[in-house]
Amino acid sequence: SYIEPDFKWSNFNLEEQAKVIVAPRSNNEMDGAKLSKEFPEMLSIKDSLIKYVFEPNKRT
């Protein structure tokens, strides 16, 4: 069985988290707008896959 019915989940606060996790939390951005602005020649993920994965595989 994958489920333990007697298991009780308990969250911990930030102070307890700081004791367990060595590095502090990072605030990553999931948006590529800044990168696109800095590097306008950068391809989108879709276009990059087509150019570097699918097109070369067509030739083989």
For position 23, what pLDDT does the model report? 81
For position 48, what pLDDT does the model report? 96
For position 50, what pLDDT does the model report? 95
Per-residue pLDDT at 60 exceeds 80? no
More confident of the two residues 46 and 32:
46
SS3 labels along 1-60: CCCCCCCCCCCCCHHHHHHHCCCCCCCCCCCCHHHHHHCCCCCCHHHHHHHHHHHHHHHC
pTM over 0.85: no
Contact 42, 35 (CB under 8 A): yes
Report residue 1's pLDDT band, with 50, 70 and 90 as the boundaries: low
For 23-39, write each residue's pLDDT tens digit: 877 778 788 899 999 99
